[in-house]
Structure 1
Amino acid sequence: MVAGKLYIGRKVRDLRDANRFTQAVFAERLGISTSYLNQIENNQRPVSATVLLALADKFKMDISELSAGSGDRLVSALAETLSDPLFANYIPSIQELKLIAQNAPGFAHALLNCHEAYRQRSEQLASHDDRLDDQILVENTPYEEVRDFFHFVDNYIHEVDQQAESLAKELGLTEQDTFTSLSQFIDTRYGIRLRKDTEVHAAMRRFDPILRELTLNQYLPASTRDFQVALQIAQLHGAETIDAVASAANFKTQEAYEICRVGLHNYFAGALLLPYGVFKETAAELRHDLDLLSARFGASLEQVCHRLSTLQRPGGKGVPLFFARIDRSGNITKRHSATKLQFARYGAACPLWIAHQAPVTPGQIMRQLAETPDGIRYLCLATQTSKAVAGYSNNRPTYTLALGCEISYADAFVYADDLDVSNQRGFDPIGVSCRLCERRDCASRSVPPLRQKILVDHHLRGMLPYKL
């Protein structure tokens, strides 16, 4: 979407190819000339409202799915990559980036992979100097490869989500005690008995495929206990679907494939405990009150926030959200955004973002009205949570959960009821990260932006020791 105009050439071309029509036949069905269709498919002209209606009426194209979505994520990733000083002589316009993302997504991903390899090799050279071993030169870590896989599929896996939802309906999970239902199912369907481990430092879950026993740490919170049983069900009941999805991703290494399977098992478990349709309707009914959703489904706040970020089913999407989990060092350990706000692939998040203030008030959900440099405004939420097994001697890692939406969706959140979203001064200026943000007068800036030159005046000192 550029200046109110919609360029969807690749979508139109894919739709025509799927129906096996020539341009002449497809244009005739739409009631337009072949030359106009050719210009649309090559993104030389935007699609008109009349053509959109014809596509929806005659070819069942879902107009609601034409929002930027994954295109925004790809454009954001390209913009961050091309901000590297390596490309100092080339500054693409946003229109160029969008055309690449729309017309040549494969090329765009190849460029991202090349830059990732370049970045990692540069870091390795800096660390190992001239003693670098060729064996450690890798293009991408398996973990990062899997992270990008989930990122670019919109954090929604249709086949896995539907299978989990069907099983949830079969078991009536939202109508009776979850743990009892899961325990009975895994026993009757797969002959697996549940056992308790009273050892304080025992693993959360241990499965013995010979004895057909699933042993759970007795001191797990109920939400974690239920999730671990659901995870075991995912490994058994969803195995065929999950393996097919992971195989189709064509990962470069077996390690990445296995890491993806772990992620898909977790995805299935979350979709089983929080089935798509019921959860989406309840979230709207409760106006996304995180505490109430947690209580209604017997889930943790993290499970609720993560599930909200996956409600991207075609034809039935929830409110587009961003979601992140941040550890005490500021590392983003989980991230996804269905909004215009895209998290930086490298480096820390903006220090002005409310997520960094959540540890000051643990247990409370903090709110922030924020605006990014592109002028888009957001409702941001953040809260601190811990993830641990009970017991004084057990480690209790703490995380910040951050969730938010564009301000146009704020009415869907109970947290916005007493906020004046019409007051422009009420929005805090934030960015993606210091290395990408071009705000000139930010006192919280840690490093200069990559695309700006630094000017030093030894006779003048402002908020920063330099000017941009």
Structure 2
Amino acid sequence: MAIGKLYIGRKVRDLRLANHATQAQFAERLGISVSYLNQIESNQRPVSAAVLLSLADKFKIDLSDLSGGEGDRLLSALAETLADPLFGVHGASVQELKMVVHNAPGIAHALITAHRAYRHNSERLASIGDTLDRAATTVEQTPYEEVRDFFHFMDNYIHDIDVLAEKLAEEIGIGEQEASGALSDYLASRFQVRVRRMAEPNDVIRSFDETGRVLTLSPYLQPATRDFQMALQIAQLAGQEVIDRILRNAGFRSKEAVEVCRIGLHNYFAGALILPYRRFLAAARDLRHDLDLLSARFGASLEQVCHRLSTLQRPGHKGIPIFFARIDRAGNITKRHSAAKLQFARFGAACPLWNAHRAFEAPGQIIRQLAETPDGVRYLCIATQITKGDRGFHAHRQHYALALGCEISYADQFVYADTMDLGSRIAYDPIGISCRICERTDCASRAVPSIKSQLIIDHHRRGPLPYKIRSITETERQV
């Protein structure tokens, strides 16, 4: 049966007014023109499926029959896959990619998985040496990558765990009393587990004696890390049934992937317990996403706060759609998630023009940036450096940059946008996703040519790069 055209202008207008947005702001968030929005509100034009999905995703409209979670992420991953020269003239247009993502997501996932297997095999064959006999074992997705994609396409939000953790947080009294004592008391009263410090410190952070019911923690842990480890122990004891059910339904290919994911789900539970959803979401809005204040209010680390902000995707009670990443000094993205249009590349390093890299030059400071990607979308970007690891003069410590941000239409809900000239075109730095897939032709910071471009070599003329780039249009690729 065909679905009739939907004219819901009044509902759209009421929703816009309830969010205190002008037509320009509302249209920008939906990704449509102001004139189109005006026609929708006056019922001169019906609402398209794309706009309905955007309303459901960004403005908490309950459209349970529509799927609005993984579209941008799957589209980005599929586009990056088909950009590989392997596919030659068989590249697809953006419209074709959207049709596949919306109508046949299973095929999109299968193609991405096949391409990843091809890359793994190719990379191993390029440096096999004496490992040729083991090359066949690398064509499949590694357990870590399989788990990473599980969380990525779940929108980094696990509803059953989040709801259970929030219920337990209320029972324990998280937010109403000092977290460390509340967590320790709950472990003792509910599970008969005693918490003690290690008598002889070593490189073990935590150790649980299941028979003796003793949780032993390193005496050198920061308070936020100590609380997280106690919360993780509660996750293992109280969340076992729901976590087992999620793992059974996930369809992982190996036991290793199951156990790696179990670690991730325990960590997710712990984060949701010490930063309960509704209380944390309300605080984030009240404090305008001030990371330091959120950290102080909940006794959590900056990384815990940033990571939790990226999980606020509960249907009907969503937070601001942000992107979040943790990056090491070598530029490796060790954590990543994006509920915004900006999606991180699956292969290759992050754009060198992104402010995340500058965080290492200014420890303890918040680095702000206004940025624009090649598709014309603008973002508020925030970055700061953190240090992790053992304490003591001889201890080895790890340094990471935490990066997060939002589309510019949400910037006024972040304290970090204050004093920034959001309306100035020249205030926005041009950034990309990864040099490998970036279509900018005039970037002097480019590390490698884009795989979707043609090189122009002039031996008599040299600019910042030893070549010039000419982007290949979709028409040329299809000829």
TM-score range, shorter chain: 0.7 to 0.9
Verify: 1:300 aligned to 2:298, yes or no: no
Q: Structure 2: how far apart are the matches of 1:322 and 1:61?
A: 22
Task: Indicate the residue corresponding to 1:123 in structure 2.
Answer: 123
Alignment check: 8 A CA contact 2:143 2:254 kept: yes
Verify: 1:420 aligned to 2:418, yes or no: no
Q: Structure 1: how far apart are the matches of 2:245 and 2:67?
A: 28
Task: Indicate the residue corresponding to 1:84 in structure 2.
Answer: 84
Q: Structure 2: how far apart are the matches of 1:359 and 1:233?
A: 35
Return the offset for 1:170.
Answer: 1.0
Alignment check: 8 A CA contact 1:221 1:390 kept: no
Q: Structure 2: how far apart are the matches of 1:464 and 1:29?
A: 52
Return the offset for 1:199.
Answer: 3.0
Return the offset for 1:246.
Answer: 1.6
Task: Indicate the residue corresponding to 1:15 in structure 2.
Answer: none
Q: Could you say what the CA RMSD is over the residues aligned between the two structures, in angstroms?
A: 2.4
Task: Indicate the residue corresponding to 1:459 in structure 2.
Answer: 460
Structure 2 residue identity aligned to 1:261: R
The number of residues matched between the two structures is: 426
Return the offset for 1:131.
Answer: 5.7
SS at match of 1:139: coil
Q: Structure 1: how far apart are the matches of 2:342 and 2:200?
A: 44
Task: Indicate the residue corresponding to 1:48 in structure 2.
Answer: 46
Q: Structure 2: how far apart are the matches of 1:357 and 1:220?
A: 28
Distance of aligned partners of 1:217 and 1:89 in 2 relative to their CA distance in 1, 3 Å threshold: same
Alignment check: 8 A CA contact 1:198 1:219 kept: no
Distance of aligned partners of 1:443 and 1:61 in 2 relative to their CA distance in 1, 3 Å threshold: closer
Distance of aligned partners of 1:29 and 1:348 in 2 relative to their CA distance in 1, 3 Å threshold: closer
Q: Structure 1: how far apart are the matches of 2:329 and 2:390?
A: 19
Task: Indicate the residue corresponding to 1:7 in structure 2.
Answer: none
Report the TM-score, using the length of structure 1 for normalisation.
0.87
Distance of aligned partners of 1:362 and 1:188 in 2 relative to their CA distance in 1, 3 Å threshold: same
Distance of aligned partners of 1:257 and 1:420 in 2 relative to their CA distance in 1, 3 Å threshold: same
Q: Structure 2: how far apart are the matches of 1:64 and 1:404?
A: 28
Q: Structure 2: how far apart are the matches of 1:404 and 1:351?
A: 17
Tell me the alpha carbon deviations over residues 256-298 of structure 1, each in whole angstroms, 9 at most, x when there is no partner. Answer: 0000000000000000000000000000000000000000000
Q: Structure 2: how far apart are the matches of 1:93 and 1:69?
A: 22
Return the offset for 1:136.
Answer: 2.4
Q: Structure 2: how far apart are the matches of 1:146 and 1:133?
A: 27
Structure 2 residue identity aligned to 1:93: S
Q: What percentage of residue pairs aligned between the two structures are identical?
A: 62
Return the offset for 1:369.
Answer: 0.2
Q: Structure 2: how far apart are the matches of 1:181 and 1:275?
A: 14
Task: Indicate the residue corresponding to 2:327 in structure 1.
Answer: 326
SS at match of 2:317: coil
Structure 1 residue identity aligned to 2:122: S
Alignment check: 8 A CA contact 1:354 1:366 kept: yes
Return the offset for 1:49.
Answer: 3.2
Report the TM-score, using the length of structure 2 for normalisation.
0.85
Task: Indicate the residue corresponding to 1:70 in structure 2.
Answer: 70
Alignment check: 8 A CA contact 2:6 2:46 kept: no
Structure 1 residue identity aligned to 2:240: A
Task: Indicate the residue corresponding to 1:411 in structure 2.
Answer: 412
Tell me the alpha carbon deviations over residues 285-328 of structure 1, each in whole angstroms, 9 at most, x when there is no partner. Answer: 00000000000000000000000000000111000000000011
In the alignment, structure 2 segments of 5+ residues that lack a partner are: 8-39, 470-479
Alignment check: 8 A CA contact 1:456 1:465 kept: yes
Structure 1 residue identity aligned to 2:337: H
Task: Indicate the residue corresponding to 1:141 in structure 2.
Answer: 142
Return the offset for 1:154.
Answer: 0.4
In the alignment, structure 1 segments of 5+ residues that lack a partner are: 1-22, 32-45
Structure 1 residue identity aligned to 2:100: I
Return the offset for 1:88.
Answer: 1.5
SS at match of 2:314: coil
Q: Structure 2: how far apart are the matches of 1:322 and 1:364?
A: 19
Distance of aligned partners of 1:67 and 1:339 in 2 relative to their CA distance in 1, 3 Å threshold: farther
Q: Structure 2: how far apart are the matches of 1:114 and 1:390?
A: 44
